[in-house]
Structure 1
Amino acid sequence: MSSFDDPNAVARYAEGPVRQVPGFHGMQKMTELLLAEAVPTDGHVLVLGAGGGLELKAFADARLGWRFTGVDPSAEMLKLAAATLGPLAPRAQLHEGYVDTAPEGPFDGATCLLTLHFLTADERLHTLRELRRRMKPGAPLVIAHHSFPLDDGGRARWLDRYAAFAAASGVPEKDTKNAAAAISARLPLLPPEQDEALLHEAGFERIEMFYAAFTFRGWVAYNPG
């Protein structure tokens, strides 16, 4: 059973990103501001990997006219998203599944935060293409996930820094080392230049990095139009 399907792990989910992702709240705020440059005040935003509802709530709190479609493969995480949204929940439609089963839109903008690092390069390219297909011309996509140099000892060096940040944020040191080892062994990690190349290959333009924090990188890109 995936940790995202374990009710106990899901209940503790909200504790994790703040302690493990440097500048987590700032990254969410920057994502919302980047979306707002192009998404109208009554816009509809697709959030892929919406389980937990943390970014849904941050966006909904900040932009009172936006509507959301949240997609996630975990029913337990979507339950948590609904609970996290609370009274804001009517503004978000939640769908259990993957990008292939996401509504067609077209959407005024889209996000995929802390999700793509679970996918292989081929799966990422497919996901990015399916996201772009569901977006209006000129719509922005914001992504952020593990993406860091992997050569010349970069994998070990940057994962040590990831673990050090989590430990400094209150995560037990043993747990931080186990998490870093699991990321190295289980995630199909890619370096930033390959992530950018996939965005180009998927057909996006005006690709800009906006976020870099130890092992994490984030980009904004636009559907041509």
Structure 2
Amino acid sequence: MDYDNDLAFAVECYRKMQKALPGADALYRLVLAQLEHSLDAQAHILVAGAGGGREIETLGASSRAFTITGFDPSEEMLRIARHYRELSSAKNRTGLVKGTISDLEAPGAGFDAATSLLVMHFFPDEPGPDGKLAYLRAIRQRIRPGAVFLLADVSYEDEAAFDAMEPVFLRHAELAGLHHDVVASAPATIKAMPTISGSRTAELFGETGFSPPKLFFQTLWYRGWTATAV
């Protein structure tokens, strides 16, 4: 995959398009709240798919002295993340790596926590190095036992559930300030992604060394789970 030319939407639209996600700001605040509650002040956090900079911006604003290591295979998306790193008081504790999870080495006994926010829904649910199973297993291999893992993805049970909420999604995006022409194609783009249900997500967690996931965020087609490495 060409991670700079096969993106779901243009890099310059990333921040704008996140307005279409109902509760996007709350999602990132909840992630920060859980990490601040669960971790020591100097914990080392792995950020999967750090391009775009939302996690870098959010974690970097924490009063804790977290060390942050993020990776992303897209140079263009990492450019945005670097911008927000430079604005952060944690810039000297934040490292960004161009590549995939397989390019990243874990520190010592492993990272103390990991986040994967709106990343895994792009990967196929099939065997092989580029599938969801391999992705989750690679994250698990790089975090220590007991580490917190937070994952958020597009997830819905069936097409009927998706279709029922499509008009609500579009109207919400318009109320958030996005012109209809900007978001009109978004439902079709989302529907074409290899998304999985919550029950399938739980199966994958169990197969890759995580505790049963607990739902902490849900709005329309977006869900967030928390689990620990076992």
**Equivalent residue in structure 2 for 1:202, among 181, 191, 208:** 208
- The alignment of Structure 1 onto Structure 2 pairs a total of residues equal to 220
Q: Aligned partners of 2:136, 2:175: CA distance in 1, in Å?
A: 34
Structure 1 length-normalised TM? 0.90
Aligned position for 2:114 = 110
Q: 1:94 to 1:2 in 2, by over 3 A?
A: closer
Q: Which amino acid aligns with 2:170?
A: A
Q: Aligned partners of 2:157, 2:166: CA distance in 1, in Å?
A: 10
Contact 2:36 2:64 in 1 (8 A): no
Q: Aligned partners of 1:177, 1:11: CA distance in 2, in Å?
A: 18
Q: Aligned partners of 1:77, 1:4: CA distance in 2, in Å?
A: 11
Aligned position for 1:145 = 153
Q: Aligned partners of 1:206, 1:149: CA distance in 2, in Å?
A: 18
Question: Structure 1: which 4+ aligned runs deviate by more than 6 Å?
Answer: 3-6
Q: Aligned partners of 2:125, 2:225: CA distance in 1, in Å?
A: 16
Q: CA deviation at 1:147?
A: 0.4
Aligned position for 2:181 = 174
Q: CA deviation at 1:2?
A: 5.7
Q: Which amino acid aligns with 1:27?
A: L
What CA deviation, in whole Å up to 9, does each residue of 1:8-33 have, x standing for no partner?
9323322221x111111111111112
Comparing 32-41 with 124-133, greater Cα deviation is found at 32-41
Q: Aligned partners of 1:57, 1:218: CA distance in 2, in Å?
A: 19
Comparing 68-77 with 154-163, greater Cα deviation is found at 154-163
Identity %: 28
Q: CA deviation at 1:176?
A: 2.2
Q: Aligned partners of 1:57, 1:15: CA distance in 2, in Å?
A: 16
Matched, 1:83 2:83: yes
Q: Which has the higher helix share?
A: 1
**Equivalent residue in structure 2 for 1:121, among 125, 133, 137:** 125
Matching of residues 9-20 of structure 1 within 5 Å: 9-17=10-18, 19-20=19-20
Structure 2 length-normalised TM? 0.88
Gapped regions of structure 1 (runs ≥ 5): none
Gapped regions of structure 2 (runs ≥ 5): none
Aligned position for 1:219 = 225
Q: CA deviation at 1:82?
A: 0.9
